[in-house]
Amino acid sequence: MSETQITEAELHAYVDGALSVARSAEIEEYLAGHPEDAARVAAYREQLAALRREFNPVLDEPLPRRLQVPRGSWMRWLPRVAAVMAWITLGGAIGWQLHAYNSTSSRSEGTAWARRAAIAHAVYSPEVRHPVEVGADQEAHLVAWLSKRLGTQLKVPHLGNLGYSLVGGRLLPGERGPVAQFMYQDGKLQRLTLYVRINPDERSESAFLFAQEQGVGVFYWLDRKLGYALSGAVDKGELLRVATAIHGQLNP
Amino acid sequence: MSDHESLITQHIPRLRRYARALTGERSAADDLVQDTLERALSRFHLWRQGSDLRAWLFTIMHNIYVNQIRSRIRHPHEPLDESAAEEMRSREPDWGELRDLEEALARLPAEQRSVLLLVGLEQFTYDEAARVLDIPLGTVMSRLSRGRERLRVILSGDARTTTLKVVK
């Protein structure tokens, strides 16, 4: 037994084709004199082949609808709820109806992010188990975390006097970087979400803008450093009442 | 920036293949893929541009899978050691002939199955597998070795003999 030492790890590297040609040749030489190890190596190679035979066909299976992520509709595959499926059929072609004042220069920009806010609402508000990443019981942590990620100090409005309690919040990817979403619910578990993002034009402010599609209404506005979008499947008057309260709290 | 869904889309078939082999069930596998995609998209900003997206996605899937196992065995704070992994094998087949590959895979501890599939099916290098699973390289090698040997024994029908020979 004057041959080179072969480790177990090397036998596997040999099976996986991860060794140099020279070392592989040495292993082959070793295996020629060790039938037991040679049989093991042969069995491991057969395992690899069997695994690939068995599971490679999965690569060619058509994707079920729930796993499809078509371009440009980043949330399309998420839906577990009909509300979201309804968004899909809208596609990009159908315009987002604006029912309120809008400045012409920021029209497309404004509608795009309001639409993202509404989609995020439709996706997360029906969620039973994981509606938020950080719950209201850790409100200080939630605010500190999201403030850090957005790069500016956030304030989370309290809507208790309107009958809505904070559920918590989560971080979302936005068009221009991280976005915060706070979720509220009332006693009947009706949920509203407040989507907060950085305002690219820090100085601008806007009036309340309103958009509505598929039963989800959105009031959105710019307030210097931040843009806010309040979404909910409630009537417009109720949504405006809450939006006004939020705006008031953020601008005491 | 808006291209990230198409970047991720490329990897879905591979994620499905791995999940299928890992869980052994079509619907459980697709649930796992769906959870992985959701988490990947919601945390896409955490992916370092230029780093290996495939490895990042598999890491996410691995973490979700491990958490599912942990919650299933109701020992949420226990590390996933071999005995715990043994315990979670809820799909324990009948003690009969076990030549079927899927059944044999199901009888491996999850930690060995993961290594075996990442290396064998996904063809990750040992280093990449170590990073995905967040374990040392030596642990990858020992799990690979034990997993392959165990699979060999199971497939050869000699399920009661589980002695492992190690060449040093």
Q: Is pLDDT of A172 > 50?
A: yes
**Which range has the top average pLDDT, A23-37, A72-86, A189-203?**
A23-37
Q: How confident is the model at residue B161 (pLDDT cuts 50, 70, 90)?
A: very low
Residue pLDDT, tens place only, B95-121: 333 348 888 898 999 999 999 999 999
CB-CB under 8 Å, B34 with A12: no
Q: Give the CATH number for residue A159.
A: 3.30.200.100
* Domain housing A164: 96-250
Mean pLDDT across A107-113: 64
CB-CB under 8 Å, A8 with B145: yes
Residue A159: per-residue pLDDT: 92
Provide CB contacts within 8 A for A7, sequence distance 6+.
B167, B168
Task: Identify the closest residue of chain B to A176 by CA–CA distance.
Answer: B1
CB-CB under 8 Å, B41 with A173: yes
Residue A171 with chain B: CB contacts under 8 Å: 42-43, 45
Count of structural domains within chain A = 2
Q: How confident is the model at residue A147 (pLDDT cuts 50, 70, 90)?
A: very high
CB-CB under 8 Å, B141 with A12: yes
Task: Identify the closest residue of chain A to B140 by CA–CA distance.
Answer: A9
For B107-143, letters b (16+ CB in 10 Å) and e give: bbbbbbbbbbbbbbbbebebebbbbbbebeeeebbbb
Residue A87: per-residue pLDDT: 45
Residue A85 lies in a domain: no
Alpha-carbon gap: B51 to the closest alpha carbon of chain A (Å): 19
Residue A110: per-residue pLDDT: 61
Q: What is the CA radius of gyration of chain B?
A: 17
B50: alpha, beta or left? (left if phi > 0; alpha if psi -120 to 50): left
Residue A79 lies in a domain: no
Q: How confident is the model at residue B8 (pLDDT cuts 50, 70, 90)?
A: confident
Among A57-71, A85-99, B127-141, the minimum mean pLDDT is found in: A85-99
Residue B141: per-residue pLDDT: 97
Alpha-carbon gap: B58 to the closest alpha carbon of chain A (Å): 16
Residue A68 lies in a domain: no
Q: How confident is the model at residue A103 (pLDDT cuts 50, 70, 90)?
A: very low
Do A27 and A150 belong to one domain? no
Do A136 and A44 belong to one domain? no
Long-range CB contacts for residues A26-30, cutoff 8 Å, separation at least 24: A29/A3, A30/A3, A30/A4, A30/A6
Average pLDDT, chain A: 80
**Which range has the top average pLDDT, A78-82, A90-94, A155-159?**
A155-159
Percent of chain B with pLDDT over 90: 46
Domain B4-155 has CATH 1.20.140.160: yes
Do A117 and A183 belong to one domain? yes
Give the residue extent of every domain in chain B.
4-155
**Which range has the top average pLDDT, A65-74, A113-122, A138-147, B2-11?**
A138-147
Alpha-carbon gap: B167 to the closest alpha carbon of chain A (Å): 5
Whose structure tokens read 């029908």? B157
The answer to whether the CB of A243 falls within 8 A of the CB of A219 is yes
For A218, the token pair is: 């959105």
Do A100 and A56 belong to one domain? no
Number of CB pairs < 8 Å for A and B?
119
Residue B74: per-residue pLDDT: 52
**ipTM given for this complex:** 0.78
- Residue B96 vs residue A232, higher pLDDT: A232
Mean pLDDT across B123-145: 95
Q: How confident is the model at residue A116 (pLDDT cuts 50, 70, 90)?
A: confident
Which residue of A36, A59, A71 is in closest CB contact with B5? A71
Q: Is residue A207 helix, strand or coil? A: coil
Residue B21: per-residue pLDDT: 93
Residue A81 lies in a domain: no
Q: Is pLDDT of A120 > 70?
A: yes
Amino acid code (one letter) for A209: L
- Cα A214 to Cα A216: distance, rounded to the nearest angstrom: 6
Residue A39: per-residue pLDDT: 95
Task: Identify the closest residue of chain B to A178 by CA–CA distance.
Answer: B45
Percent of chain B with pLDDT over 70: 74
CA distances from B132 to A13, A230, B11, B62, B126 (A): 18, 39, 15, 8, 10
Residue A59 with chain B: CB contacts under 8 Å: 13-14, 16-17
